[in-house]
Amino acid sequence: MANTNLAEGHEKTASSTYQNDGLRDTDVLASPTLTNFVENGMGNGVIPLTLNRYDESDRNNPISGNACVRPNGTLGSTSELYVDTGVVQLDGMFYSVGSGSVLDIAASTNYHSSYHGSPIPNGSNAADEAILLVYVDPRLTNNIGFVYGSYVDTATGVYPSSPSAELVRQNTILASVRVGKGSSGPVIHAIEDKRSFIRPGPVPLSAIEHSTGAKSGVRNDFVAGLNAANMPLANLGVLYARDPSGFTAAAQGAGQTHLFFQSDQGLGSHAGGGGEYQITPVHRTAKTPAIPYAAGSPLILNFGVASPGGLLFKPLLSEEDGATPLVSVDVYDAANLFLGTLVHPHHYTFAAGNITLLDPAGLGGTFPTAATCVITYVHASHA
């Protein structure tokens, strides 16, 4: 922390707010911090919903932001604190914490019976202090729990230790609270921010490489002599990225990197419901409103242009031949009666940037001079 050197140790107590500088039991290298580092590696931590901008003014502010723990009242006399609104990921699940409600360290409802049968008691001596941790516990109200260690008399040169009962489960610690003796009950002396944030934003996936370039599934054979990897456990799946080339004869997105899911029960085999599945491009269906289609000239509909001037998305090609667009063009007369369906490539052509409907005057008189068309097509949500 700022303005701290190793010689200061526990003796540094200068404070601009309720945060204290110095290497104390509740500071940088305390066990809650190290615990959160480990838990963060398992994906447990606070999601920075409002702190994910690089230039966010409160990005590194220890007394503000998602799931921040703050005192309610004056330090040394209050037993209450707030947990600001936030979302925490814990053991693969998301939990909302903080609701603006005041939490009292002397209230039994904020403690789980597995750790404490009663809330933290008052100290016996004026210099008594104990460490109380504010951690995420989905078994309690607001998904917040308190756990505390033993009091020690700091006048004897002893410093309180952090509790460890909460380590029997995966968790994330939001703050370490130094609690002391009050006139009628325990009071808060200091609150140290211990939040560990999960990196926000996209998760990059590098494409899986194979020595032969066409093998399916998650494999190790990029390095000669290694056995192919498999999915030996039931109820297991892996999400990864790869070039779809070799997945099918004419895979969509070939030459690019796309998302895949490998299910359990073996590589590439559908026995037992397993197998490898390509997730992207995501196929979606769009249908245009009526587009004027009159005789006199071809109708060119550019991709990336909303109808009736074009098609907002680029249609996908059939995986059967890699050339036939997944497009259906229905033609109607002025009375909105169905006249027929245009067929590719006899009635319309497909290019990289557009679809061209041939001049209806050259289609054997099937379509009148005043007609409209409605185009239904499959796309992957990109122009």
Tell me the average pLDDT across 117-146. 95
The pLDDT assigned to 368 comes to 66
The reported pLDDT for the residue numbered 51 is 85
Q: Helix or strand or coil: residue 40?
A: helix
User: Is the distance from CB of 153 to CB of 128 less than 8 angstroms?
Assistant: yes
pTM above 0.85, yes or no: no
Distance separating alpha carbons of residues 166 and 260, to the nearest angstrom: 37
pLDDT at 374 over 80: yes
The CA distances from residue 264 to 207, 216, 271, 376, in Å, are 20, 14, 10, 36
Q: How confident is the model at residue 2 (pLDDT cuts 50, 70, 90)?
A: very low
pLDDT for 179 equals 97
Other Cβ atoms closer than 10 A to 219: 19
What is the residue extent of each domain of the chain? 9-193, 205-280, 284-379
Residues 264 and 234: beta-carbon distance below 8 Å: yes
The pLDDT value recorded for residue 25 is: 46
65 or 208: which carries more pLDDT confidence?
65
| Residue 73 reports pLDDT greater than 90 | yes
Residue type, 337: L
C-alpha distances out from residue 65 to 51, 193, 302, Å? 7, 11, 47
Residue 156 has pLDDT above 80, yes or no: yes
Per the rule left: phi > 0, alpha: psi between -120 and 50, beta: everything else, 159 is beta
Average pLDDT (325-343) is 91
**pLDDT band for position 13 (50/70/90)?**
very low
| The 276-278 sheet, strands edge to edge | 238-242, 258-262, 276-278
Query: Which H, E and C letters describe 267-324, residue by residue?
Result: CCCCHHHCCEEECCCCCEEEECCCEECCCCCCEEEEECCCCCCEECCCECECCCCCCC
- For the ranges 82-91, 203-212, 364-373, the maximum mean pLDDT occurs at 82-91
Q: How confident is the model at residue 335 (pLDDT cuts 50, 70, 90)?
A: confident
Most confident of 180-189, 224-233, 279-288: 180-189
| pLDDT at residue 207 tops 70 | yes
pLDDT at site 93: 93
State the pairing for strand pair 310-311/299-303: parallel
CA distance 191 to 189: 7
What does the pLDDT read at residue 214?
57
- Residues 315 and 381: their CA atoms lie apart, in Å, by 9
Short-list 320, 340, 337, CA closest to 329: 340
